[in-house]
Amino acid sequence: MSIAPITRLAAEPRPAVAEPRPVTFTFGEVLSALNPLHHLPLVGTIYRAATGETIPPVLRVIGGGVFGGPLGMLSAAVMAAIDEFRNMPDRPHYPASIAMERQGDGG
């Protein structure tokens, strides 16, 4: 059994690190984020779908903390993360890839 030396492992190239997106807010976005309908559980999702309004994820988390306390902030962070993942253009579509594999197997 051979163990690679530590110096060799450290010399391997690292994958590219994701760059954070710059966060900028307009006055209108901040004003819109003050609307408590954005931060109520379930009501906020329905309100945003009905009106087409969106607020940045950071403001959703801050508003969740202001209107719902620590539990509201936590739930807003989870929902913002889910929405961000759902709206990523290059994310893999797992259910579609599973369905394609099943069709290729003949069953």
User: pLDDT for 87-99, tens place per residue?
Assistant: 766 655 555 555 5
Maximum Cα–Cα distance across the chain: 64
User: pLDDT for 56-82, tens place per residue?
Assistant: 888 889 988 998 899 999 988 998 888
Q: What's the CA gap between 46 and 40, in Å, rounded?
A: 10
Query: Is the separation of the CB atoms in 44 and 38 below 8 Å?
Result: yes
* pTM check: above 0.85: no
- Reported for 32-35, long-range contacts at CB under 8 A and 24+ positions apart, including other chains, are 33/59, 33/60, 33/62, 33/63, 34/63
Residue 70 CB-density burial (10 A; 0-12 exposed, 13-18 middle, 19+ buried): exposed
C-alpha 33 chain-centroid distance: 18
